[in-house]
Amino acid sequence: EIIQLLLEHKADVNAPGSDYGDALQIAIQTNDIEIVKILLSAGADVNVKRTGGVDCTALMTAASSPWADTTMIKLLLDHGADINAVGGLGGTALCAAAIGAENKIEVMRVLLAHGAYANMRGGPQARYVNPLHAAVTWKDLSGPPGYPEGVRLLVEHGAQIN
């Protein structure tokens, strides 16, 4: 209701925000798909990079979220998100999805099915060279390094192992 009120009074849906990004990225970080839909309908730009030195797009934010799910990813892709954009600590959306818990395998599948490049290298801020590097080296505090299912999926989609 508050978002609608602000938009009705001509709030700039793409106004830069804090280090957490603009309104769209904050809604993604809080996993509020209804607000994301409202903002997208109002013209939110899915490819604006978050400020504060993090330099990532809405799709990268969604893929790196602990609540990452295919519904949010598909919604952003349907609104023109650049699937192979480079930036941020994650490097790319696929790389960001390769970092993390097993629940992100479906997100990785959707990204690959929509044309994410398995060998895309991240930018200068990226913690990982590419998605395969992220999947091989990511470590859950409770287990050994690596994300076998993610590694397998990336190799099946042409990730170069050398």
In a domain, 42, yes or no: no
Q: Would you give per-residue pLDDT tens digits along the chain (162 residues)?
A: 788 888 888 878 888 777 677 889 889 989 999 999 999 999 999 998 876 556 789 999 999 888 888 999 999 999 999 999 988 777 899 998 988 756 789 999 999 999 999 998 877 767 777 888 888 887 665 566 667 888 899 999 999 988
Domains held by the chain: number? 1
Confirm whether 102 is domain-assigned: yes
Q: In whole angstroms, what is the distance from residue 128 CA to residue 46 CA?
A: 23
Structural domain boundaries, residue 149: 49-156
Task: Flag whether 24 is in a domain.
Answer: no
Nearest-CA neighbor of 19 among 56, 51, 64, 65? 51
The answer to whether position 18 is within a domain reads no
Token pair in block for residue 153: 């999926």
Take residue 3 and report the two structure tokens written for it: 């978002």
- 149 inside domain: yes
Q: What three-state secondary structure class fits 18?
A: strand
Does residue 56 sit within a domain?
A: yes
In a domain, 120, yes or no: yes
Does an H or E element contain 61, and which?
A: helix 58-64
Q: Is 15 exposed, middle or buried (0-12, 13-18, 19+ CB in 10 A)?
A: exposed
We report the CATH number of the domain holding residue 131 as 1.25.40.20
**Does the residue 103 lie in any domain?**
yes
